[in-house]
Amino acid sequence: MDTSSALLHPVRLRLVQMLLGEGDLTTRQLHDRLPDVPIATLYRHVSHLANHGLIEVADEQQIRGASERTYRLAAGFANPSADELKALSTEELLTAFTVFTSGLIHDFRDYLRAGEPDLHADRVSFAQASFWASDDELDEFSRVLMAALQGLVDNGPGQGRRRRTLTTVLMPREQAEAGAAE
């Protein structure tokens, strides 16, 4: 089984979401956050994720004669740098993207559970826009977007401000589409 397929089980995906959202956790802490998952099942899925290289042991301590392991997402899957992404195989890239999108799902679920969601008042949106652009046009768009975003990134907490997250995914579409419009 490839690494991205290892994430397709709902319990394993929830485990990765917990580690992505909260950082290093012991199996006991994972069980506390996922009380609906029997402990034996949790251990089996943690082992599965570790065997597929998606999570790793961050720390191990002896507690009352037993070994307690603390787990974290494996390097390169939490917030991979551009260089780390370049070094990943196609399968590892799919896994990293799956972890990334599962983090979005986790964040959105937390937002929905925080109270009565009001997407309009909270300025929540998600959309997809396709467009035609040359590499130079796209580079200019990216520069303008980053310049506008930098003014907000430098803000600190203050009256009327909420912490917000902007997530973008930019990728080319199949080349066959280009021929259809020409």
User: Tens digit of pLDDT for each residue in 29-67?
Assistant: 999 999 999 999 999 999 999 998 889 999 999 888 888
pTM of this structure: 0.67
State pLDDT tens for residues 150-181: 989 889 999 999 988 888 888 888 765 555 55
Residue linked to tokens 């080319």: 172
Residue 71: C-alpha distances to residues 1, 16, 53 (Å): 21, 10, 12
76 has which bridge partners? none
State pLDDT tens for residues 98-123: 888 888 888 888 889 888 999 999 99
Return d(Cα 44, Cα 50) in angstroms, integer: 10
**Which one has a higher pLDDT value, 175 or 9?**
9
69 has which bridge partners? 60
Identify the pLDDT of residue 175.
67
Q: Please, are residues 95 and 106 in contact by the beta-carbon 8 Å criterion?
A: no
Residue 74 CB neighbour total at 10 angstroms: 20
Question: Can you give 147-171 as a three-state secondary structure string?
Answer: HHHHHHHCCCCCCCCCCCCCCCCCC
